[in-house]
Structure 1
Amino acid sequence: MTLAPPHGLHDGFANDVARLCSDLLRIDSTNAGDETGPGERQAAEYVAEALDQAGVAAILTEPRPRRTSVLARVAGQNPHLPPLLVHGHLDTVPAEPRDWTRHPLSGDLHHGHLWGRGAVDMKGTVAMVLSLVRAWARTGRRPRRDLVLAFLADEEATGEYGSRHVVTTHREHFDGVEEAISESGGFSITTRPRHAETDARVYPIAVGERGTAWMRLTARGTAGHGSGPAQDNAVAELVHALSRLTTHRWPTAVPPAVSTLLDALDRILGIRIDRTRLEDEAARLGRLGELFDCTVRSTTNPTVLQAGHKVNVIPSHARAEVDGRFLPGAQATFLETVDRLLGPKVTREFINCEEAVAADHDGPAFAAMADALRGQDPHAHPVPFIQSGGTDAKAFAKIGISTYGFAPLLLDPHLHYFGMFHGVDERVPLTGLDFGVRVLHRFLTTY
């Protein structure tokens, strides 16, 4: 795909970010978690060309054929400040076209939204960053500090061919970096405070994420005829263990960032959130409740189940995969509880295990992001939150880099942001992308 050269854009970025995002959405970079997909090579080459047109040299790196990441650097005004990492991923999860209103690889602009898999997660953000870098090249502007750019493969799996690869093979690219920004934060949630006559917009900025424990469970038993007595049945053992896992009531705990979030929501909404009934309060608050409902407890969700091959044969083993997430500092207790619930006849092994990560929600970086949001939206209320899922932030944390989730978007009040992630009819408003570029410009030229 050939990229059209940049051109003047009045006083905004909308034309360029729309073209970049639409083009990226039309590139299939599906990551099914195995080696069957097309890889990220085509998307990486597109990104490298967009950077080259802005005079920014890019390096393509791939540990496996077509599993490609892009590394680059943009010089800032003050070389004495620590560089800031901006990282995003080029891969997407699979999408079934028959379930979508518009094809997930269409990149269509329809009713003011760009449609396609990755519009929110996270090709839209990649397009915002590219658009900003290209606008700086046209106008002669620069960020305040050096920007280290990393557009990565394999985030939708373990990051083995993306973030984990670059932090080891290209460690020198990140020398001096202490902080980073990436996906899943800075989006708007419109709400009406109690007794208020006008709406307010809450902008959650991610300052951490729960730990990840993807586990493969195995139950072993005695193979036999399906008509025999029900004893030592691996399938039954595994099903009972999964039932214990899914019905377990994980205790509630409130990390400091979540406590700050709850205090902020109290103030913004003019209410008092009951800290003793957070599950009920999350349901009552709807989309605002989604900001804390999964980050005050650990979770275990079975996602894959495999056993047997014939109805009248009892198999000798059964397997399942479980997506486990645990709160900061709770890994040891979490795993002890999992083992107790599984029982002696079910063993576990890790598919992926990574500790929870956190960034400073009281520091100057968070304050600068909040200021950038308020500078573009006078009704903005920035708040910290912890992500329930995981990102490439975990790989960068291992080399001492703290990541904030800051991919700013102004959303239609009816668009469910979290519902777009891995969901059907993923789309992003064009005006939201333009807003995001302006916020990023303000943040990156002042912080």
Structure 2
Amino acid sequence: MKSVAEICSDLIRFDTTNPGSGERPAAEYVATLLADAGLKPVVFESAPRRTTVVARVEGDSPDALLVHGHLDVVPADPAEWQMHPFSGEIVDDCVYGRGAVDMKGSCAMTIATVLDLQARGVRPKRDLVLAFLADEEATGDYGSRHAVTEHRELFDGVTEAISESGGFSVTSGDVRVYPIAVGERGTSWMELTAHGVAGHGSRPAVDNPVATLVHALSRVASYQWPVRLTPSVAALLENLSEVIGRPIDLDRLDEEAARLGALGTLFKGQIRNSANPTMLSAGYKVNVVPSTASAHVDGRYLPGLQEEFLATIDELLGPKITREFVNLEDAPAAPYPSAFFDELGAALVAEDPGARPVPYVMSGGTDAKSFARIGIKGYGFAPLMLRPDLDYFGMFHGKDERVPVEGLEFGTRVLTRLLTHA
């Protein structure tokens, strides 16, 4: 049976860059592994080569847990990497390659855990639904959104889910903090358009849409969003205060985040909404004032704050800018405190007695948003014990992405404890 590191390496070698040629080869590999272990994977496509795999493992209770991950990855330029990003090489006890952290490593942990249970004839304590999805690195239209609308029956009985961006260790002195995501910020990707009067570039502009748009973007980019402490983030700050042995100053959270280093990254991007201009498009010739100019903005908002976020955006843009949503997704939240959160934390502590599980809200987003549409409560839990010097957040979409082999092996042991009566 393949090791978790070998499965991770194999998955990385499939170039599933999004946009690109699709996830089909990686999906077929996953489906073969599951079928060879005696499962009956369902493979479907939302478009040619945009492939998803779903399988159910029968457990002692029909109250099912969804374990989902995505097979697509963001682009990687080989010239910027020490090793080819799709080599899957294991060097210095780390698996290198695009997707090692985000999130083929996590998919490999799930697969390795389930294959081991099947080989040993161990039934999980509840039904498991495994989903290996397409298109998470875009909108999910070809992956999770398609799955919950066109294949809803595959998720019957599922009440909770676990996936990426949680359960990893952040070392602070002698304590290893393990943030478990109980929510995500919502997504508001917007296309902005300014309309004006076309004319010759050498003459005084009547109504230059480029200038109008640039001024509006400047207001958006420079706006200092107010701190908004949601209950989950407040709980995180309370837990971190206990870890560091002093109260965190809630009136100086930006300074506290900088002072706390790695621990500060757990709340720095989660205490307020944000909006970042990311793309600009206007004109076709240097001496022509165009009639339109457009831009894209990546907006993120905390649970419960969509209305406040959009009202602020409209005020910043002003009346001459129109906006359309490229992607609008609500900010999902899972119950905390909860018995299931305690189960996740107990599985970590069982493998790492120095673990300190804490609640966490993701600054970005995952496929949990799609599953929330059908009532599934999603938790970020892809357990990894990491070396203190490894910049976990820097691995996401960064160059030389890698994951320690020992971290993957730790993750499979934690998952085994979570999924079984061990």
Shorter-normalised TM range: over 0.9
Could you tell me whether the CA contact under 8 Å between 1:251 and 1:297 is conserved in 2?
A: yes
Structure 1 distance, partners of 2:262, 2:317, is: 33
Alignment match, 1:247: 222
Alignment match, 2:14: 27
Q: Classify the secondary structure of the residue corresponding to 2:268.
A: coil
Q: Which of 156, 172, 175 is the equivalent residue of 2:153?
A: 172
Q: Classify the secondary structure of the residue corresponding to 1:48.
A: helix
Q: Give aligned pairs, total.
A: 422
Alignment match, 1:200: 175
Which aligned pairs between 1:103-122 and structure 2 lie closer than 5 A?
A: 103-122=84-103
Q: How many Å apart are 1:323 and its aligned residue?
A: 0.4
Q: Which of 36, 59, 83 is the equivalent residue of 2:64?
A: 83
- 1:426 paired to 2:397: no
Q: Which of 365, 376, 385 is the equivalent residue of 1:390?
A: 365
Structure 2 distance, partners of 1:55, 1:308, is: 58
TM-score calculated relative to the size of structure 1: 0.93
Q: How many Å apart are 1:77 and its aligned residue?
A: 2.3
Alignment match, 1:43: 26
Q: Which of 125, 132, 137 is the equivalent residue of 1:151?
A: 132
Q: How many Å apart are 1:293 and its aligned residue?
A: 1.1
Structure 1 distance, partners of 2:61, 2:233, is: 34
Deviations 1:58-111 (A, max 9, x none): 1111110000000100111234xx100111100001111111111110100011
Structure 2 distance, partners of 1:307, 1:445, is: 57
Q: Which of 256, 270, 276 is the equivalent residue of 1:281?
A: 256
Deviations 1:361-402 (A, max 9, x none): 211111011011000111100001000001111110010001
Could you tell me whether the CA contact under 8 Å between 1:291 and 1:385 is conserved in 2?
A: yes
Alignment match, 1:74: 57
Could you tell me whether the CA contact under 8 Å between 2:194 and 2:293 is conserved in 1?
A: yes
Q: Which of 58, 64, 70 is the equivalent residue of 2:41?
A: 58
Alignment match, 1:12: none
- 1:141 paired to 2:122: yes
- 1:101 paired to 2:91: no
Could you tell me whether the CA contact under 8 Å between 2:199 and 2:205 is conserved in 1?
A: no
Q: Which of 310, 313, 328 is the equivalent residue of 1:338?
A: 313
Aligned CA RMSD, in angstroms, stands at 1.0
Structure 1 distance, partners of 2:61, 2:156, is: 16
Q: Classify the secondary structure of the residue corresponding to 1:432.
A: helix
Structure 2 distance, partners of 1:382, 1:117, is: 28
Q: Report the AA paired with residue 351 of structure 2.
A: Q
Q: Which of 287, 302, 305 is the equivalent residue of 1:327?
A: 302
Alignment match, 2:5: 18
Q: Classify the secondary structure of the residue corresponding to 1:130.
A: helix
Structure 1 distance, partners of 2:386, 2:235, is: 24
Could you tell me whether the CA contact under 8 Å between 2:205 and 2:289 is conserved in 1?
A: no
Q: Which of 184, 191, 203 is the equivalent residue of 1:209?
A: 184
Q: Report the AA paired with residue 55 of structure 2.
A: A
Q: Which runs of 4+ in 1 moved over 3 A?
A: none
Q: Which of 338, 346, 350 is the equivalent residue of 1:371?
A: 346
Could you tell me whether the CA contact under 8 Å between 1:211 and 1:325 is conserved in 2?
A: yes
Structure 1 distance, partners of 2:369, 2:389, is: 32
Structure 1 distance, partners of 2:326, 2:281, is: 16
Percent sequence identity is 61
Structure 1 distance, partners of 2:261, 2:248, is: 13
Alignment match, 2:209: 234
Gaps of 5+ in 2: none
Q: Which of 105, 109, 112 is the equivalent residue of 1:124?
A: 105
Deviations 1:312-364 (A, max 9, x none): 11111111100000111111111111011101111100000011101112111
Structure 1 distance, partners of 2:60, 2:376, is: 22
Structure 2 distance, partners of 1:259, 1:205, is: 14
Deviations 1:155-175 (A, max 9, x none): 001100100101011111111
Could you tell me whether the CA contact under 8 Å between 1:86 and 1:149 is conserved in 2?
A: yes
Structure 1 distance, partners of 2:270, 2:419, is: 29
Q: How many Å apart are 1:446 and its aligned residue?
A: 3.8
Q: How many Å apart are 1:231 and its aligned residue?
A: 3.7
Structure 2 distance, partners of 1:142, 1:217, is: 52
Q: Classify the secondary structure of the residue corresponding to 2:158.
A: coil
Could you tell me whether the CA contact under 8 Å between 1:53 and 1:134 is conserved in 2?
A: no
Structure 1 distance, partners of 2:154, 2:106, is: 21
TM-score calculated relative to the size of structure 2: 0.99
Q: Classify the secondary structure of the residue corresponding to 1:292.
A: helix
